[in-house]
Chains A and B, each alone.
Chain A
């Protein structure tokens, strides 16, 4: 594989369920060694996209390539280099933790026993415990161990931490950074779909917001935080005829305003300053706030 070619390459992908366009012309690229966030509301098409990458669904049109390969024609070649953690993890209830890991390892050419032992200890999972007796958090932890031990080049996470308690969520993310990413950083790619954006914030290099099956925004995370800003201004009295066109959103409560900006905060700050505010502050939006703001952008586009 050419190291410069993307690990995931989605071109104009569409997938319908009956008359519903779940994914409708989506294009995105994920480069090797990156952690890529895939954000969208419920029903935006995230899971459908992921299933197309894993050959659990076939696209109606467009292409999905993983390591430059077609997941349908080269299913084994693709899957042997991927691990996947879905939001709802199912194991055979009669198997123990140990038995489940042995079963998962039997499908893999490579299995890192040191990482396995390390993570079992860290998560305090009892190898003799039956899978049916595990809590939701423990099932996710077991799935994560099963995903990391084969040291795959691509880790696909679909809402992995939803419904888990905060400590389990933290440990999950630390494990992705430590046990997974640190193994061979140039060849460890993460593709994560999540609603809990703030928890993954520090991990995300680049992201795509998907809306009704289409890409709404794709950006580098640092660049996005540099571009989307929130200005807070307070005046002695409500300013009259203040032209704030170009702002993404303006919220005003008497003589205080909160203004969301998309790349033009300097210009708007100048305008506000000309009105001698009592207070003027400007901060970047977090990725979660950018996601919420993208809904405003979508409505502005429509």
Chain B
């Protein structure tokens, strides 16, 4: 799992880390039981405030994505989502709305947008399948 920060995205830095780690967790870049990088080396490598990384990890723990084992570090949890269906949909709705607004600005129409969503879903599912085939 490689993380990177884009200051031009306008998204708070800790949220960028949260999103990327969640994406890595969902797409197989990070597997259950695998440790997240330690806070200090990751902060040094990305050259971001140590507290920003700590905040991202705390948020991930809050969301039930990772768990901290004292003295050992932070690990990705088994994928039993702690969220209710409506909570999960709420999170996703926010993300979709952002994409919808972007599509609107870029003048990508409804059909093209939906086609793109399908294509990305297919591509994601292929990746997850390849990953599980390789295991």
| Complex interface bits, A25-41 against B, C-beta within 8 A gives 1, otherwise 0 | 00000000101000000
* Residue contact B10 to A177, C-beta cutoff 8 Å: no
Q: How far is the CA of A33 from the CA of B39 in the complex (A)?
A: 16
B13-59 residues at the A interface, CB under 8 angstroms: 13, 39-41, 43-44, 46-52, 54
Q: Identify the stretch in B1-9, B67-75, B92-100, B124-132 within 8 Å (CB) of chain A at 4 or more residues.
A: B1-9
* Residue contact B9 to A181, C-beta cutoff 8 Å: no
* Residue contact B51 to A185, C-beta cutoff 8 Å: yes
* Residue contact B5 to A182, C-beta cutoff 8 Å: no
State which of B5, B9, B50 has its C-beta within 8 Å of the C-beta of A177.
B50
Which residues of the other chain, B, contact A185 by a CB distance below 8 angstroms? Answer: 50-51, 54
A175-216 residues at the B interface, CB under 8 angstroms: 177-178, 181-182, 185, 199, 201-205
Chain A residue, CB-CB nearest to B48: A202
* Residue contact A181 to B49, C-beta cutoff 8 Å: yes
B58-106 residues at the A interface, CB under 8 angstroms: 104-106
* Residue contact A203 to B9, C-beta cutoff 8 Å: no
Nearest chain A CB to B20's CB is how many angstroms away? Answer: 15
* Residue contact A203 to B49, C-beta cutoff 8 Å: yes
Q: How far is the CA of A280 from the CA of B10 in the complex (A)?
A: 16
Chain A residue, CB-CB nearest to B104: A273
* Residue contact B9 to A283, C-beta cutoff 8 Å: yes
- Residues of A in contact (CB 8 Å), total 32
A250-292 residues at the B interface, CB under 8 angstroms: 269, 273, 276-277, 280-287
Which residues of the other chain, B, contact A281 by a CB distance below 8 angstroms? Answer: 105-106
Nearest chain A CB to B112's CB is how many angstroms away? Answer: 16
A104 within 8 A of B: no
**Which interface residue of A182, A229, A280, A287 has the most chain B CB atoms within 10 A?**
A182
* Residue contact A182 to B43, C-beta cutoff 8 Å: yes
* Residue contact A178 to B43, C-beta cutoff 8 Å: yes
Interface residues of B (CB under 8 A from A): 5, 7-10, 12-13, 39-41, 43-44, 46-52, 54, 104-107
Q: What would be 5 A-B contacts, judged by CB atoms less than 8 Å apart?
A: A173-B47, A177-B48, A269-B105, A280-B105, A281-B105
Using A199-B47, A201-B7, A280-B107 as known contacts, list a sample of 9 further A-B pairs with CB atoms less than 8 Å apart, ordered by residue number in A: A170-B47, A177-B40, A177-B47, A177-B49, A178-B43, A178-B44, A182-B39, A182-B50, A222-B12
